Structure 1
Amino acid sequence: MHKEHHVTSSEIIRDVVIGMSDGLTVPFALAAGLSGAVSSSALIVTAGIAEIVAGSIAMGLGGFLAGRTEVDHYNSELKREYNEVEQVPEQEKAEVKEVFAGFGLSVGLQDQIADELSKDKKKWVDFMMKYELGLEEPNPNRATKSAFTIGVSYIVGGIIPLSPYLIIHTAQEALYYSCGVTLICLFIFGYFKSKLTGQPALSGAFKVVVIGALAAGAAFGMAKLINGG
């Protein structure tokens, strides 16, 4: 029996990817930059924790607002479609026929389907929302779940580059371990993210590593430059 295998990324996985990618990269770059300017790990830990808290809240809020915007947009379009099937039903029927004409159905069958759909206003509107506007009804709890998932993922990602500074008191020495641990985690994260999205896993993993390394290197170099090398 033929089996089709499709890689599908759920909304939760997408939120984890969003939160984790920034969580790994931004605190890593901040810690690296501060390591080029100060010698105390304690200061870097304090600044890093403050950034993780602020970043997780900002990212979570962004996810919440995106989710609410999606719900509000859907409800606005839903209301408009209900008004249109009430006020201009023949025009809406013509739009139904256009959809099925695109599938190659005969004119007679298009008319029959349009007439049948128009008998149930809810199904008619649902059809127009999905096939005319390409909109699926969003989960009303999506915004809250998205905010929580993104925020927690950011915190988990941010703790990784900061963890060596909690153990090693010299910032420069802690930076070496932070680079090693974070780059390995970026590679693993990039690998699985690419697998989930159907992209070449190894090249995707290396891209994520390069981006993280460049961000940290730029921050470290800028801090050194400002402090006179």
Structure 2
Amino acid sequence: MEDAESQQPMLQKGPPSHRERHFTAGEVVRDVIMGVSDGLTVPFALAAGLSGASAPSSLVLTAGLAEVAAGAISMGLGGYLAAQSEADHYKREMKREQEEIIAVPDTEAAEIGDIMAEYGLEPHEYGPVVEGLRRNPQAWLEFMMRFELGLEKPDPRRALQSAFTIALSYVIGGLVPLLPYMFISTVQDAMFTSVGVTLFALLFFGYIKGRFTGNRPFLSAIQTTIIGAVASAAAYGMAKAVQAR
């Protein structure tokens, strides 16, 4: 009797409190990475190339700022069009799936069973789920979009947010290699300072990118820095080669 009474509270206890923490800003991080990565690399390579051609600091700065403005607009527009294309694709697929649910409901219901079977469920286990979804067309449609087509409903504000995030990130990244040219009049000194500042920024950004994307942070930092260094070195060498002719 005592054992039964002692076990009763344990049976009545609910599951232990569990607070899941998931990172849900993946799309924003992707946009930031895209914008900052290109912003650090392209103006850096442009400034190095112009410096290799012995252009004055004022010209390097002017050309660099023009490139940052144009690049931010171009990258932002690209992000907007990409996000808008995803939204349009989702709408087209949703309309097609909705028509199929109406025209061939038995076939679509069988597809629910096929999806459930892939998770190891038996017909007698997923049968009630199939019937429940058939009674709720909207839930049925959302289920098919997610589990059959692998499509998540896009945020209607996603296109504008993506454009703004990428453009702003590009501007922030692009100003880093240009800062020395704002304060140092000698182009060679400004270039060497820009190289040091930008390589440090690439290392830091690569490390942070690795932390957010789940890759090895130090490897990500080295890879990002090498890409930026190679791009700037190529632009600098090309400018020197052209100037020598």
Same fold (TM over 0.5): yes
Cα 1:88/1:113, change in 2 over 3 Å: same
2:103 paired residue number? 87
In the alignment, is residue 219 of structure 1 matched against residue 235 of structure 2? yes
2:49 paired residue number? 33
In the alignment, is residue 183 of structure 1 matched against residue 196 of structure 2? no
Look at both structures and tell me which one has the larger radius of gyration over its CA atoms. 2
CA distance in 2, matches of 1:8, 1:147: 19
CA distance in 2, matches of 1:104, 1:11: 31
2:32 paired residue number? 16
In the alignment, is residue 134 of structure 1 matched against residue 150 of structure 2? yes
What RMSD, in angstroms, separates the aligned Cα atoms of the two structures? 1.6
SS in 1 for 2:176: helix
Q: How does 1:86-165 map to 2 (within 5 A)?
A: 86-165=102-181
After TM superposition, the runs of 4+ consecutive aligned structure 1 residues lying more than 3 A away are 1-9
SS in 1 for 2:121: coil
Structure 1: segments with no counterpart, 5+ residues = none
Equivalent of 2:185 in 158, 166, 169: 169
Structure 2: segments with no counterpart, 5+ residues = 1-15
Q: Percent identity?
A: 50
CA distance in 2, matches of 1:185, 1:67: 28
SS in 2 for 1:53: helix
What amino acid is the match of 2:96?
Answer: R
Equivalent of 1:194 in 201, 210, 214: 210
Please give the per-residue CA displacement for 1:35-87, whole angstroms capped at 9, x wherever unaligned.
Answer: 00024101101100110000000000000001100110111111111100000
What amino acid is the match of 1:37?
Answer: A
What amino acid is the match of 1:199?
Answer: N
SS in 1 for 2:244: coil
CA distance in 1, matches of 2:109, 2:76: 42
2:63 paired residue number? 47
In the alignment, is residue 210 of structure 1 matched against residue 241 of structure 2? no
Cα 1:22/1:40, change in 2 over 3 Å: same
Cα 1:4/1:111, change in 2 over 3 Å: closer
CA distance in 2, matches of 1:219, 1:112: 64
What amino acid is the match of 1:109?
Answer: E
What amino acid is the match of 2:79?
Answer: G
Give 1:12 deviation, angstroms.
Answer: 1.5
Cα 1:5/1:148, change in 2 over 3 Å: closer
CA distance in 2, matches of 1:138, 1:5: 22
CA distance in 1, matches of 2:20, 2:45: 42
CA distance in 1, matches of 2:62, 2:54: 13
Contact 1:7 1:198 in 2 (8 A): no
CA distance in 1, matches of 2:229, 2:22: 32
CA distance in 2, matches of 1:10, 1:107: 36
CA distance in 2, matches of 1:7, 1:72: 26
Give 1:9 deviation, angstroms.
Answer: 5.0
Number of residue pairs aligned between Structure 1 and Structure 2? 229
Give 1:128 deviation, angstroms.
Answer: 0.2
TM-score of the aligned structures, taking structure 1 as reference length: 0.96
